[in-house]
Amino acid sequence: MQYKELANTGLKVSKVAIGTWQFGHASVWGELSKMEEYQRIVDEAIAAGVNLFDTAKAYDMSEKVVGEVIKGKRDKVILATKLSGAKFDYDTVRSELEGSLKRLQTDYVDLYQIHWPKINIPGTWHQADMEKQDYEDIFTSFSKLKEEGLIRFAGVSNFRLDNLKEFSDEALDFLVTDQVPYSLLWRFYDLEGVSEFCKRKNMGFLAYSPLAQGLLSGRFGKDGEEVKAMIRQANILFNEPVYSRALQIVELVKEVAKEIGATPAQVALKWTMERDVMVSVLAGVRKVKHLRENVAAADIPLTKEHQERLNKASLDFQKTLLPGLQLWIGDNRKEDIEKLDIKAKK
């Protein structure tokens, strides 16, 4: 396994990490695997050198499952979870963290993150923008939690450039990560300048959906009949006419994979983990075989020429999308979805 330092913390994080949304959210992902399978995934991941496991209160039963499967292994795990909600005052944040600690069966988390900033997007669940006090509260609350030994480090998730710029310099020195959707099919955080900003501020990216929810694995066909999970139907990339254009990138990924003797998923993961701003890719798994495939991605021979070829195609695809989109249809303005000719599902 390869590792990268988390900002200037001295903490070495595996370049391949485990995202655990699929560990506990049956209403989104369908039937869950058995606890024994999650235990096998975690045990084998740790044995392979994976040390970062990411979860969230919003992932339904995920925190509880993670708490069970890391029993007796807490010293081998860098544990990250996320705060839900739109209140960031100390009392609220402390109460939310205590709930997570109880579910995770631990007395501290290594990385505590704000799951979403407040955003005002009419017609969605995002009903208000961040205010100056919110940014101050995040820094104050998380600083106190760190002083109390309840968290080791703090980060944010889904924060765009306009959000990050509202933090004070002191707060930006304190925050170590921005967890964002990032893949060959989703480059908004590059084009909007978030990547460059984070590099200047010594914040790293944690990439979620690095395989675009399996699309970059090459397992989905042109007819899209396999796209059954509710969460995929809610993803812009799995809806026409975007889907067909995305499949052209998938075909290129397959070509590169064949050239170097790897799988498409490994090529997509390796390309993402080699980005300058990237600390780790959070790959969700429900089967041990997928874990093994993901872990092996760190060592495939993806050359600079391959990376540049993929990068160009990726950016060309990105230019077909509207600026400022969120990955999920329901997090966007209806008129923006209609401009993409996507028929938003009711």
User: How many domains, the chain?
Assistant: 1
Please report whether residue 192 resides in a domain. Answer: yes
Give the domain extent around 146: 3-214+263-300
pLDDT at residue 29, as a whole number: 62
pLDDT at residue 331, as a whole number: 84
* Angle, helix 90-104 to helix 132-147, in steps of 10 degrees: 50
pLDDT at residue 344, as a whole number: 55
Quick check: 264 and 293 in contact, CB under 8 A? Answer: no
Task: Collect all residues with Cβ–Cβ distance below 8 Å to 267 and sequence separation of at least 6.
Answer: 253, 256, 257, 260, 297, 300, 302, 306, 310
pLDDT at residue 168, as a whole number: 97
pLDDT at residue 346, as a whole number: 42
Please report whether residue 18 resides in a domain. Answer: yes
Please report whether residue 69 resides in a domain. Answer: yes
Amino acid at 326: Q
Copy the structure tokens of residue 282: 């959070």
Copy the structure tokens of residue 71: 């029993």
Query: Which of 130, 137, 53, 136 lies closest to 96, judged by CA?
Result: 137
Q: Is 313 exposed, middle or buried (0-12, 13-18, 19+ CB in 10 A)?
A: middle
Query: Which of 174, 55, 155 lies closest to 114, judged by CA?
Result: 155
Per-residue pLDDT of the chain (346 residues; tens, 9 = 90+): 999 999 889 999 999 999 998 887 655 666 667 888 899 999 999 999 999 999 999 888 889 999 999 999 999 999 999 998 889 999 999 999 999 999 999 999 999 999 999 988 776 777 788 999 999 999 999 999 999 999 999 999 999 999 999 999 999 999 999 999 999 999 999 999 999 999 999 999 999 999 998 999 998 877 655 555 656 778 999 999 999 999 999 999 999 999 999 999 999 999 999 999 999 999 988 889 999 999 999 999 999 999 999 999 999 999 999 998 989 888 888 888 988 888 655 4
Amino acid at 278: M
Please report whether residue 176 resides in a domain. Answer: yes
Quick check: 77 and 51 in contact, CB under 8 A? Answer: yes
Please report whether residue 240 resides in a domain. Answer: no
Please report whether residue 73 resides in a domain. Answer: yes
CATH number at residue 53: 3.20.20.100
pLDDT at residue 287, as a whole number: 86
Please report whether residue 293 resides in a domain. Answer: yes
Please report whether residue 343 resides in a domain. Answer: no
